[in-house]
Amino acid sequence: MDFNKPLILSEIANIVNGKVIGNSNAIVTGLNELHVVREGDITFVDHPKYYNKVLESKATYVIINKEVDAPEGKSLILHESPMDAFNKLISSSRPMKPANNMISESAKIGKGTIIQPGVFVGHNVSIGSNCIIHANVSIYDNTTIGDNVIIHSNTVIGGDAYYFQKRKGGYEKFLSAGRVVIENKVEIGASCSIDKGVTGDTIIGEGTKMDNQCQVGHDTVIGKHCLIGAFAAIAGVTVIEDEVLIWARVAINKDIVIGKKSVIMATSAVDKTIEGGKVYMGSPVMEVRQYWKYFASLRKVPELLKKVNL
């Protein structure tokens, strides 16, 4: 996420009530989580397990809860609770703006697009040409939708990430400031939920078609010309490459890659990265031939047990 205008590091330290280690006059251009961080960005780390990974990342600035020397070319902000500081910075940079109309005055809607009754379109939304947005769809702030897109009734585009940190006595919500980007010729079924990125983008690639009641988690990137069956549940920060076929009731874990032209059969569960160009099924998934060999062997177990008097 880019700031509307760059900030001085000392300004950020004042916003979050932290202490600068390094160049307090440095220019900060944006904030991002580790997996999408760029030079000029500020990120955070609050666990010793990840100190080195974050300090050696592309991030130029880091909010950290341990006083350490700033690596060369970087500056730090010391804060007792880096996640709280990062949330405060998100809230300051992209505050919640209440809606006054069903379609925000700041929304841009292209020529030939049909908006059916009951549709909510938030602030700074861009919708391309020749789209059909069916009744009671909700499109949250900062969403970008391309041309020739169809979104069916009761779908929600841009809900918050399901992202919490365990605290004493409960959970602290990680605020979401990213976007959803839907490319050209996408069709999204009824009652789907597509969450915005935390600081980056959730992306649905050109020509992809989704059936009803699918869930797409934050920061997930779905490639071009994929087919996704009803009730699919796709966790956050997952990459689904081009031309993947995902059939009904498939569950996909977070932080994994589904290879190009994979086919995942109905009711399967994917718990790790899988290669492209293959057909998978089962829970957890296996290649189809391997699965049927496993299943055939499993059916012989009762007979084998009888032979050994068990």
Structural domains of the chain sorted by starting position, each given as residue range(s) with its CATH number in brackets: 2-93 (3.40.1390.10), 108-293 (2.160.10.10)
Spatial CB neighbours of 157, under 8 Å, sequence gap ≥ 6: 137, 138, 139, 140, 143, 145, 151, 180, 182, 188, 194
- Given a cut of 70, whether residue 310 has pLDDT beyond it is no
For position 216, what pLDDT does the model report? 98
- Given a cut of 90, whether residue 292 has pLDDT beyond it is no
Yes or no: say if 119 and 154 are a contact pair by the CB < 8 Å rule: no
| 216-228 pLDDT tens trace | 999 999 999 999 9
| 63-74 pLDDT tens trace | 999 999 999 999
For position 291, what pLDDT does the model report? 83
Sheet containing 61-64: give its strands across. 2-8, 27-31, 41-45, 61-64, 75-78, 19-21
Distance CA 200, CA 1 (A): 6
| 163-205 pLDDT tens trace | 999 998 899 999 999 999 999 999 999 999 999 999 999 999 9
> Per-residue pLDDT averaged across 136-159, rounded?
98
For position 307, what pLDDT does the model report? 76
Confidence of residue 210 (pLDDT cuts 50, 70, 90): very high
For position 107, what pLDDT does the model report? 98
Spatial CB neighbours of 231, under 8 Å, sequence gap ≥ 6: 211, 212, 213, 214, 248, 249
- Given a cut of 90, whether residue 301 has pLDDT beyond it is no
Spatial CB neighbours of 296, under 8 Å, sequence gap ≥ 6: none
For position 293, what pLDDT does the model report? 82
For position 226, what pLDDT does the model report? 98
Known catalytic residue at 152: no
| 48-67 pLDDT tens trace | 999 999 999 999 999 999 99
Per annotation, catalytic residue among 79, 134, 152, 218:
218
> Per-residue pLDDT averaged across 88-117, rounded?
96
Confidence of residue 294 (pLDDT cuts 50, 70, 90): confident
| 226-271 pLDDT tens trace | 999 999 999 999 999 999 999 999 999 999 999 999 999 999 999 9
> Per-residue pLDDT averaged across 153-160, rounded?
98
For position 303, what pLDDT does the model report? 79
Single-letter amino acid, residue 98 = P
For position 227, what pLDDT does the model report? 98
Yes or no: say if 151 and 137 are a contact pair by the CB < 8 Å rule: yes
Count CA atoms closer than 13 A to 151's CA, side-chain side: 31
For position 296, what pLDDT does the model report? 78
The model's pTM: 0.92
